Amino acid sequence: MYHTDPVNKRVFRAELQYSYQFEGRQLTGRVARDYFLNHKAADKLAQFHSGDKLMVRVRPDRPEVSYYPSGFGFVEPVVLAPMLLFLAAFVVIVPIALLLVYMADLFNK
């Protein structure tokens, strides 16, 4: 794992090179992800050492095309932040709105 930009220490790149066998063929693959403000996600990808075993997905019709699921990289906070804000707003606003409706009903009786 290393910083992608020596000036911006909040961006981390994790890179993993791996080899795999498919139907008797020895193949190689590589995954690189840039993580913004999320070094723990980069650490997860960078935790592997030479000789470690991991599961990769392979296209049976093109076995040279492989995929290791490693998250969304720098897109992750961009996607997750609005979703979490919406969820937090929903969790806070809905109970308050229900309370206000309940109180309005009490005062109108």
How many CA atoms lie less than 13 Å away from 83 in the CB half-sphere?
6
Would you state the pLDDT for residue 62?
A: 94
Give me the domain span that covers residue 47: 1-73
Domain total in the chain = 2
One domain, residues 69 and 109? no
One domain, residues 60 and 26? yes
One domain, residues 16 and 47? yes
Residue 47 DSSP symbol: T
End-to-end CA separation in angstroms for the chain: 65
One domain, residues 89 and 39? no
One domain, residues 92 and 58? no
One domain, residues 58 and 96? no
One domain, residues 16 and 65? yes
Would you state the pLDDT for residue 88?
A: 84
Please give the model's pTM, rounded to 2 decimal places. 0.53
One domain, residues 4 and 47? yes
Would you state the pLDDT for residue 37?
A: 65
Predicted confidence (pLDDT) per residue in 21-59, tens digit: 999 999 999 888 777 666 666 677 777 778 888 888 999
One domain, residues 94 and 59? no
